[in-house]
A and B are shown apart, each in its own frame.
Chain A
Amino acid sequence: DAGVTQSPTHLIKTRGQQVTLRCSPKSGHDTVSWYQQALGQGPQFIFQYYEEEERQRGNFPDRFSGHQFPNYSSELNVNALLLGDSALYLCASSLELPGAQYFGPGTRLLVL
């Protein structure tokens, strides 16, 4: 049973560029959440997708957007990258409440 997978594992971008990160949920899961983890910090919630709709959003600007596909996989898009966007981006999948969220290995983004 495959767990949560994310691609790519590492990414280097320059300021002002755009990036797309991808996530495939654990088999049987229908909900995907995205988190940003800065170095030395706990993960911060970006948003959650269920039934292809964003149903909750954290305190992140509109530069951060996402999408969920019919097969439940998801993308996170970040526009106009800033140096401060450098972080580990984690995807987590779950079933409907009150299930736990299961995390992927993350994508490490470096913005130069």
Chain B
Amino acid sequence: AQSVTQLGSHVSVSEGALVLLRCNYSSSVPPYLFWYVQYPNQGLQLLLKYTSAATLVKGINGFEAEFKKSETSFHLTKPSAHMSDAAEYFCAVRSNSGYALNFGKGTSLLVTP
């Protein structure tokens, strides 16, 4: 089954610093990849998705992710962190022959003043 691994369960950055959240996938063929954000006591909000149209994907709130087949990675970045970015971030994968999303364990982003 397709799976993703998120490196680092907790990431702390200063306000204004670069945000880098890591996600690696396991798949023999390019899958569909997603990043979601979850604020406390809320559901998941879709940040961006990769569906093979372009390797650099731009999402909401200034986030983007780059699909790198050679590294089987789909890392999430944002040039300048804002306090409101503090949340839990989940990477997810869906195979092109399945319907379920398989999520990573999540990365908690802390933004300090």
Contact = CB atoms under 8 A, between A and B. Distances in A.
Interface residues of A, number: 25
Given A98-B32, A98-B51, A55 B42 contact: no
Given A42-B105, A92-B44, A104-B43, 9 more contacts: A33-B99, A42-B90, A43-B101, A98-B32, A98-B51, A98-B94, A101-B46, A103-B43, A103-B46
B105 A105 contact: no
Given A100-B46, A103-B44, A104-B43, A43 B90 contact: yes
Nearest to B97: A97
Interface string B91-112: 0101010111111111000000
B98 A56 contact: yes
B63 to A, nearest CB: 15
Nearest to B9: A40
A58 B104 CA distance: 16
Interface string A70-112: 0000000000000000000010100001101111111000000
29 contacts: A33-B99, A35-B101, A42-B92, A42-B103, A42-B105, A42-B106, A43-B44, A43-B90, A44-B103, A48-B99, A48-B100, A56-B99, A56-B100, A58-B100, A90-B43, A92-B44, A92-B101, A97-B99, A98-B32, A98-B51, A98-B94, A98-B96, A100-B34, A100-B46, A100-B49, A101-B101, A103-B36, A103-B46, A105-B43
A44 B51 CA distance: 22
A65 B98 CA distance: 20
